[in-house]
Chain A
Amino acid sequence: MSILFKNVKELVLEVDEFLSTVEQGVLIFKQGVYNYLDKEEETFFENIKNIERLEAVADKLQRKIDRELYLHSILPQHASDIEEMIDKVDEIIDVAKESIYEFDVEIPFIPDVLINDYKRLVDASVEAAAAVFPAVTTFFREPTKVKGMLTKVYFYEKESDKLSRNIKRKLFHDMDELKLSQKIHLRYFALHIETISDKAELLADFLSINALKFNL
């Protein structure tokens, strides 16, 4: 029985570590986009390296958690739900890494007038993701309180939708000096950033449904 206690203790620590890794990754994504917009190349590349490392750690932890859940038959009735949730959390850091890679590879030209808009979009999108992590932690401890914690996620997701729409409107309505190809290119970058909040919203939906299942 003590082995089982030890295993459970380890698993709890691993889940917590996984969540904090993903959270860090999302914050570094925000820094990275800021550095790109501010043309701080050196720190931007530093951010890419960091997010790469964190994503690898998160993947490793995810695999470990999955394996241990099945190996020690922990929460056998809900193991697949937990696994799905962990997978949804991991998707957030995956999207963050992919987006920052897009900045590095495609080097989008962002006009000065749009820099602030992009910064605000990154803020809102990352806020949505940052708000979902405490809900995940609470889900493991007090599922009943999860629903109340998700309001912030939905709010910031809507906010990032709005900001992204504004950027697109500005691009296609007010900025005649840009070529169509540039407009399309910049629109995709708004979409990349916005995807993080979309993923956070999906996770929030999952949490709110499953919190009911985990109640007595």
Chain B
Amino acid sequence: MITLLFFLSSGLFLGWSLGANDAANIFGTAVGSRMVKFRQAALIGSIFVILGAVIQGAGANATLGKLGSVSTLAAAFTVALSAAATVYWMTRLKLPVSTSQAIVGAIIGWNLYTNNQTDLHTLTKIVTTWISGPILGGIFAALLYLLTKKILKRVRFHLFYRDLSIRLGLIIIGGFGAYSLGANNIANVMGVFTTSVQFPAIHIGFITLSSTQQLFAIGGVAIAIGIITYSKRVMETVGNTLMPLTSEAALVVVLSQALVLFIFSSQSLSNALTSIGLPPIPLVPVSSSQIVIGSIIGIGLLKGGKQIKYKVLGQISLGWIATPVIAGIVAFFMLFFIHNVFKQEVGFKTITQSKQATHQTVSDSLTHAEKVTSFPKKRVVQTEQNPSVQSSFSYGWMMGLILVVVLMGVVYYFLLREKKQNAFGKEKVEELENYIALKEKSLEQEMERYQEEQQNVDKELKYRQNEMVNMAMNIIRKYEIVGQIKDDINRIKKEIHDGEARQALNKVILKINQNLLLDRDRESFQMHLEEHNSNFMHRLSEAYPGMTENEKRLATLLRMNLSSKEIASILNISPKSVEMNRYRLRKKLQIPPKENLTQFIRKF
């Protein structure tokens, strides 16, 4: 059981990634636009995907079986793993990829490795369907869009009721889409295991589940787990990659996608067409993402085609070629590895009885489930590789072809990498240039701001300095006037002989002297002086620690470019004292005789 689970794990992983990615094609817009809650979408999607896989999964699986019936469990594991690895690798490289195309490529890789013949007719049918799927999706979408538009024009729905019906439509059509996805794509997930894994049939009341149906149920559960665990992230990140969609247009896209998936997996419909003389529908697993793209382009063309991003079309075409080729190469080498290193049986050349066996009718119903899974039985006989007898391709031919394909793959990979690197480099250079330009601009702006600030500070400083000089000049003027008044009183005093009057004048002179000594203006000026030149005074103290407070004050006044006479007035000392103090200051500052004291201080 554990071995079986191990071998099934690659298929289950493929199923998980299918659920994680492709559920967004069905419920992406509904959940993204908050019309349907994710929990609701995940529940409906999970149930219907399993139902679709079990009830209607056999049709598309039969076609894959015709392309190559992978006969051993190890080979089936390797083929599914190769497809899963290709899908994972291409998704990481952000290249368009489809599980359907990857599995087909991997089966062809198996055919080539095991020397089994690839049914070219089936291959042509599959490739044709890949192309016709998106085209059909586009046609359906355009017709349904026209129809919806007409209905909405005729029916006078209130906007709120319209919203409600769209919401209902998204749920119902989402369920149908999930059913069709399960029916069409389960072959990609579990198809390769149907020959090598056989379970006994299970009977539940009237329902009988064949071995294939049980396998498909397991695969359906893997898809459901993918939907529940990871699809929310995909639904939220996948935006309107091709063109913006309204809720109504999204409904049309999901419906046309579901219809195409249903058509390419419904045996009953195919039988009905055959019964009226029309050709049967090829039951082939197709890419739901590519049908969605086809549908959106269909609507876009109907609207004039202006909003379509045509680049995506080129990417799809590239995916048609690149995915199967890469998956085929990966499968070929992995099979080589599994066969030669792990010595596992990978199902070399089978002698089939299929030429005699006619392809049995495959039905959609549960009651015909056994019929559905009864592919042409094959007798698996391992033989020595003898290409000249049993293969339509000669061994040399095949190796040459593989070599060419490998070379093509390698060249494609390197071209793509170089293109990516170039694009990345260009993007980086542009980013860097933009960054530098922005940085330059911001530096320039900062510089301008700094200069402006500097100018403001200079202005402020100049203003303050002027203020102080004015203050100083006021004090000086006041001192001079008061000094003159004092002189005048002294002169008058000399001329007066009256004792009382002289005494009164002495009192006035005393008052003046006292007032001059306790001059508040001077005090406040000195306070301002110290405050505004605190940095300068601090620098002086650091450079010449022995300087007294009076010397520092004198230096500050000299820095303001005041003359000795003016300084004398401010400090209320005689000019001679100022000269003496200047001399002492010179000595303390150790200024050479040729240098001017004031200039030295101003530079300091």
Which residues of A come within 8 Å of B, CB atoms?
1, 4-5, 8, 11-12, 15, 73-78, 82, 139-144, 214, 216
Chain B contact surface mostly: helix
Give the chain A neighbours of B164 by CB distance below 8 A. Answer: 4-5, 8, 74
The interface size of chain B toward A, counting residues with CB under 8 Å, comes to 22
Chain A, residue nearest B148 (CB):
A216
- With a cutoff of 8 Å between Cβ atoms, the chain B residues found around residue A1 in the complex are 168
Complex contacts, A216 vs chain B, CB 8 Å: 145, 148-149, 152, 246, 248-249
A140 x B159 contact (CB < 8 A): yes
With A77-B33, A216-B148 as contacts: A141 and B246 at CB distance below 8 Å: no
Give the docked Cα–Cα distance between A143 and B157 (Å): 10
Task: State A155–B78 Cα separation when bound (angstroms).
Answer: 76
With A76-B33, A76-B34: A142-B163 Cβ-Cβ less than 8 Å: no
Residue B520 at the A interface, CB < 8 A? no
Could you list which residues of chain B lie within 8 angstroms of chain A, going by C-beta atoms? 33-35, 145, 148-149, 152-153, 156-161, 163-164, 167-168, 246-249
Contacts of B167 in A (CB 8 A): 4
**What separation, in Å, do the CA atoms of A214 and B249 have in the docked complex?**
12
CB–CB B163/A75 < 8 A: yes
Q: What is the minimal beta-carbon distance from B507 to any residue of chain A, in angstroms?
A: 67
Measured between C-beta atoms, what is the minimum distance from A2 to chain B in Å?
11
Q: B156: which A residues are within 8 A, CB to CB?
A: 141-142
Contact indicator B158/A74 (Cβ below 8 Å): no
Known: A8-B164, A73-B35, A214-B159. 13 other contacts (CB 8 A): A4-B164, A4-B167, A8-B160, A8-B161, A74-B163, A75-B163, A76-B35, A77-B34, A140-B160, A141-B156, A216-B145, A216-B149, A216-B152
Nearest to A5 among chain B residues (CB) is B164
Q: In the complex, which residues of chain B have a beta carbon less than 8 angstroms from the beta carbon of A78?
A: 159
Residue of A nearest to B249 (CB): A216
Nearest CB to that of A10 among chain B residues? B160
Nearest chain B CB to A53 CB, angstrom units: 27
Name the residue among B148, B158, B247 with the largest chain A CB count within 10 angstroms: B158
The answer to whether B158 and A141 have CB atoms under 8 Å apart is yes
B-side contacts of A73, CB under 8 Å: 34-35
The residue in chain B whose Cβ has the minimal distance to the Cβ of A144 is: B153
3 closest pairs, A vs B, by CB?
A76-B34, A75-B163, A140-B159
A73 closest partner in B (C-beta): B34
Min CB gap A64→B, angstroms: 14
Minimum CB–CB distance for B152 against chain A, Å? 6
Interchain nearest-CB distance for A23 vs B (Å): 18
Are A11 and B160 in touch, CB under 8 angstroms?
yes
What is the CA–CA distance of A216 and B35 in the complex, to the nearest angstrom? 16
Please indicate the chain A residues that have their CB under 8 angstroms from the CB of B145 in the complex: 216
